[in-house]
Chains A and B, each alone.
Chain A
Amino acid sequence: MEKRSSSPNSKVDQSSSTGTHINLRIQNGQDNRVLSYRIKQDIPLDRIMLDFCRRLGLQYDSIRFVYDGRRLKDFTTPLDLNMDDGAVIDAWTEQSGGGAALFR
Chain B
Amino acid sequence: MGTLTSINRKRSDDYCKSLVSISSPIDQSYGHISKKPRLSAFANPGRNRPYSIVSRLQLYPDSKPRFSREVHAPVPVRFSRFGPCSKVEGSASLRGNMGNCLGIQLPYEKVKNGAIRSLKFFWKDSELFGGEDKLNEVIQIDDAEDENRVDVSDDLSVEEVGVVDDLGRKRKNGYRAVAISAQGVEKDLRSVDSSVVTNVSNPDEKVDAVNQMMDAMLLDEEPNALCVPAHRKLYDFAKGRDGNIKRLDLEIEYNEKCRQRFQLMRSQKKGKQIRKDVVAESFLPLTEEEEALVARALSNSSRRKVLVSHENSSIDITGEKFQCLSPGAWLNDEVINLYLALLKEREEREPQKFLKCHFFNTFFYKKLISGSDGYDFQSVRRWTAERKLGYSILDCEKIFVPIHKEVHWCLAIINKRDKKFQYLDSFKGVDNQVMNALARYYVDEVKDKSGEDIDVSSWEEEFVTNLPEQTNGFDCGMFMIKYTDFYSRDIGLCFNQGNMPYFRRRTAKEILKLRAD
Contacts and interface: CB of A to CB of B under 8 A. Distances in A.
- A and B associate: yes
Interface of A: 29, 32, 64, 66, 68-73, 76, 88, 90, 92, 94-103
A61 to B, nearest CB: 8
Counting chain B CB atoms within 10 Å of each CB, which of A68, A88, A90 scores highest?
Answer: A68
Contacts of B331: 96-98
Interface residues of B, number: 42
B30 interface: no
A98 B476 contact: yes
Contacts of A32: 370
B360 interface: yes
Given A69-B360, A69-B364, A70-B388, A95 B383 contact: no
B363 A96 contact: no
A103 B409 contact: no
Given A69-B360, A102-B408, A102-B429, A95 B333 contact: yes
A70 B361 CA distance: 9
A26 B86 CA distance: 126
B474 A100 contact: yes
A78 to B, nearest CB: 14
Given A92-B363, A98-B476, A100-B473, A64 B330 contact: no
Contacts of B362: 95
A73 B408 contact: no
Given A66-B363, A101-B406, A101-B408, A96 B475 contact: no
Main secondary structure of the interface of A (DSSP, over half): loop
Contact of A97 (B337, B379, B406): B406
B330 A97 contact: yes
Contact of B314 (A29, A70, A88, A101): A70
Interface string B370-387: 100000000110111100
Given A92-B333, A95-B404, A103 B363 contact: no
B135 to A, nearest CB: 110
Given A68-B383, A69-B360, A90-B363, A99 B476 contact: yes
11 contacts: A32-B370, A64-B334, A66-B363, A69-B382, A95-B332, A96-B324, A98-B330, A99-B407, A99-B470, A99-B476, A103-B473
Given A68-B383, A68-B388, A71-B314, A99 B426 contact: yes
Nearest to B341: A71
A33 B66 CA distance: 115
A99 to B, nearest CB: 4
Given A95-B362, A99-B475, 10 more contacts: A29-B363, A32-B370, A68-B385, A72-B314, A92-B363, A94-B333, A98-B329, A98-B474, A99-B407, A99-B426
A49 B360 CA distance: 23
B477 interface: yes
Contacts of A103: 427, 470, 472-473
Nearest to A61: B318
B315 interface: yes
Contacts of B476: 97-99
Contact of B383 (A69, A97, A98, A99): A69
Interface in B186-238: none
Nearest to A102: B427
Contacts of A98: 329-331, 407-408, 473-477
Contacts of B473: 98-103
A64 B363 contact: yes
Counting chain B CB atoms within 10 Å of each CB, which of A64, A70, A88, A97 scores highest?
Answer: A97
B81 interface: no
Contacts of A72: 314
A19 B317 CA distance: 34
Nearest to B372: A32
B482 interface: no
B476 to A, nearest CB: 4
A2 B363 CA distance: 32
Contacts of B429: 102
Contacts of B380: 69
Nearest to B384: A69
Contacts of B405: 97
Contact of B367 (A76, A90, A101, A102): A90
B465 interface: no
Interface string B305-339: 00000000111000000001000011111100100
Nearest to B321: A94
A97 B408 CA distance: 4
B347 to A, nearest CB: 17
A27 to B, nearest CB: 8
A63 to B, nearest CB: 12
B169 interface: no
B110 interface: no
Nearest to A88: B379
A54 to B, nearest CB: 21
Contacts of A97: 330-331, 404-409, 476-477
Contacts of B470: 99, 103
Given A70-B388, A97-B404, A92 B382 contact: no
A32 B475 CA distance: 30
A96 B408 CA distance: 7
